Amino acid sequence: MSKPIILTGDRPTGKLHIGHYVGSLRNRVLLQNEGKHDMFIFIADQQALTDNAKNPEKVRQSVGEVALDYLAAGLDPEQVTLFIQSQIPELAELTMYYMNLVSLARLERNPTVKTEIAQKGFGESIPAGFLVYPISQAADITAFKANFVPVGNDQKPMIEQTREIVRSFNHTYQADVLVEPEGIFPENEAAGRLPGLDGNAKMSKSLGNGIYLADDFDTVQKKVMSMYTDPDHIRVEDPGKIEGNMVFHYLDVFGREEDQATIAEMKEHYQRGGLGDVKTKRYLLDVLDRELSPIRERRLELAKDMGEVYNMLAKGSEKARTVVAKTLDEVKDAMGINYFK
């Protein structure tokens, strides 16, 4: 029996931050180490280009950064296939066929795409490639016959659209070629979307409110010391609030089993008054650094030989390509367009 297949990926638009880490990377490493799935993890550079066409250099740089983040966080190319989307032209070919199964109106209804269009301020000039990226994402997923796709909640519409394409394809061509994937969504709301250091609901590069896996200790320290806490907690002896206090929010996300008693006690003390922000921040810094320092050290080591990192990606891409080519062949068989066979 072959193992169930997991596929997921990230857009390379910058380095990965600790929100990515707790929201998905950490879980991918756990899944990898369980060894119960065939895993494909990829860098979605073509998708990143759909709204960065004029800035390919940013995407190119970020491919290397994301690959370093993957490896440093513990993804092991011996156990999972790591690849780059654009190096598999068959994915674009699949996209071409799927486009005919999806209406323009359906694309325009995708709530995540709608939000992004509003945020990105395209105005009247929405790139066609941007509007159709959910179809290309369906190609990514179905090309590997993925059973499970671990992603953030914002990706629910993409999974739904993929399932529709699968049903439409199999029905239209009377074939049993494509597999309907299931999304795996973060169960833990706190980790599902880690807020920024400033309390903003989203940690993002453009808001400048994130901690990156690549940040050195001094940078992390500076960032932790600047975190948003309780603005009314002015003197140490004042009672403080823990709701909306990012230090306690992060402790809930990063604290391990053995930290729980200390965290509970600190929360109690803080609310009663007498516990200063600097102390809570120092403790958080310890907790964070315990998790981040091994990742940071591995990342520094790996970054010394980018040639090796790209070799690994090339090997993964080659392996992934054989899988995709097989699915594409089945797709063309089902459509009856393998003329020379």
Site residues for ligand TRP per CB under 6 A: 7-11, 44, 47, 137, 140-141, 149, 151, 155
- Euclidean distance between CA atoms 272 and 278, whole angstroms: 16
Q: Strand pairing partners for 212?
A: 17
Closest approach of ligand TRP to the CB of residue 82, in Å: 14
**Minimal CB distance residue for ligand TRP:** 44
Closest approach of ligand TRP to the CB of residue 142, in Å: 10
Rg (CA), the chain: 22
Is 154 annotated among the ligand-binding residues? yes
Closest approach of ligand TRP to the CB of residue 97, in Å: 17
Is 205 annotated among the ligand-binding residues? yes
Closer of 44 and 67 to ligand TRP (Cβ)? 44
Q: How far is CA 172 from the centre of its chain?
A: 32
Closer of 47 and 147 to ligand TRP (Cβ)? 47
Closest approach of ligand TRP to the CB of residue 21, in Å: 14
Task: Give the burial class of 208: count Cβ atoms within 10 A of its Cβ; 0-12 exposed, 13-18 middle, 19 or more buried.
Answer: exposed
Nearest to 145 by CA among 169, 118, 179: 179
Phi, psi of 183 (to 5 degrees): -80, 145
Are residues 242 and 270 in contact, defined by beta-carbon separation less than 8 angstroms?
yes
Closer of 91 and 275 to ligand TRP (Cβ)? 91
- Euclidean distance between CA atoms 169 and 100, whole angstroms: 10
- Euclidean distance between CA atoms 68 and 179, whole angstroms: 31
Is 1 annotated among the ligand-binding residues? no
Tokens encoding 118: 């509003």
Is 206 annotated among the ligand-binding residues? yes
- Euclidean distance between CA atoms 238 and 253, whole angstroms: 25
Closer of 191 and 266 to ligand TRP (Cβ)? 191
Task: Give the burial class of 30: count Cβ atoms within 10 A of its Cβ; 0-12 exposed, 13-18 middle, 19 or more buried.
Answer: exposed
Closer of 86 and 137 to ligand TRP (Cβ)? 137
Closer of 41 and 247 to ligand TRP (Cβ)? 41
Closest approach of ligand TRP to the CB of residue 183, in Å: 9
Is 232 annotated among the ligand-binding residues? no
Closest approach of ligand TRP to the CB of residue 269, in Å: 39
- Euclidean distance between CA atoms 13 and 100, whole angstroms: 29
Is 272 annotated among the ligand-binding residues? no
Annotated binding site for ATP: 11-13, 19-20, 152-154, 194, 202-206
Annotated binding site for L-tryptophan: 140
